[in-house]
Amino acid sequence: MIGNVILLQNITPYKELDFAKTNFIATISHELKTPLSSIQLSVELLGKKQLGTLNEEQISLVESIKEDATRLLKITGELLNLSQLESGAIELSVAPCTPYEIVQYAIEANQKMASQKNIHLNIHLPENLPEVMADKDRTAWVLSNLISNAIRYSYDNSIVEIKVQQINNNFQFSVQDFGIGIAPQYINKIFDRYFRIPGNRNEGTGLGLSICKEFMEAQGGSIHVISDFGSGSTFWFILPVVNTNI
């Protein structure tokens, strides 16, 4: 033992590059959102035949443009969320809201995809629930993302159970599917950015669950999963009930 060698490396250029990358992603995804939304709207109008009747081939082309525009909007939305999380630009607005608004948004956003696979969304939502302390939009996004995954990773003609339960001072929002399930060796990785289970044939970015986790943790909640490989998975998140006694 003659001595110790300490190596110091200046990481400023890497940090600057990382910052530039985050900014670049944010700008691109933001700039893409507006034209994509307008493509989606125009195609929607075309499909409604207000501008003339379409033949079968044209209808199927319009349908596939619509689906692609929706897919692209989903990806740009995820990239925008990611870059905002990375740059710390995200501002949560946590306030009392009803669990009904959150569930309603998430169901509406996924109803069409569910019907396409003939999947029934079974909703268990007790009446007269108190308010939940949450960022309504972000929480609705998280629930919608879990439902969308449940549908995408389910077989056709099945059921997805969506449940809201009050457990003491918390709400538990859960989404259970009876689909392909997750092998035990991947269960701790699925919340990592860009992680996708090898062999996954569905389209996707591997970003959805990591954003869900960050949105939940940023508002003091938590997100969990259990899965039975081959039989299905249950994802749930926990948020506090608004305390009316204060």
The least distance separating ligand ADP from the CB of residue 115, rounded to whole angstroms, comes to 18
CA atoms within 13 A on the CB side of 92: 21
Q: Cβ closer to ligand ADP: 129 or 225? A: 225
Q: Does 177 bind ligand ADP (CB under 6 A)?
A: yes
Q: Cβ closer to ligand ADP: 94 or 107? A: 107
Q: Does 160 bind ligand ADP (CB under 6 A)?
A: no
Interface with ligand ADP by CB under 6 A: which range of 9-17, 84-92, 188-196, 237-245?
A: 188-196
Contacts of 183 (CB under 8 A, 6+ apart): 197, 229
Which listed residue (61, 73, 159, 197) binds ligand ADP by CB under 6 A?
A: 197
Which listed residue (77, 99, 179, 221) binds ligand ADP by CB under 6 A?
A: 179
One-letter amino acid at 121 equals: L
The least distance separating ligand ADP from the CB of residue 200, rounded to whole angstroms, comes to 4
Q: Does 204 bind ligand ADP (CB under 6 A)?
A: yes
- Contact between 103 and 127 under an 8 Å Cβ cutoff? The reply is no
CA distance 145 to 149: 6
User: What's the burial of 181, exposed, middle or buried (CB within 10 Å: 0-12/13-18/19+)?
Assistant: middle
Query: How many residues are recorded in the chain?
Result: 246
Residue of 225, 226, 224, 221 whose CA lies nearest to 241: 221
Which listed residue (83, 233, 239, 241) binds ligand ADP by CB under 6 A?
A: 233
Token pair 């990611």 is at which residue?
82
The least distance separating ligand ADP from the CB of residue 199, rounded to whole angstroms, comes to 9
CA distance 49 to 45: 7
CA distance 243 to 246: 6
Q: Does 207 bind ligand ADP (CB under 6 A)?
A: yes
Interface with ligand ADP by CB under 6 A: which range of 79-87, 102-110, 111-119, 172-180?
A: 172-180
Residues that bind ligand ADP (CB under 6 A): 149-150, 153, 177, 179-182, 190, 195-197, 200, 204-210, 233
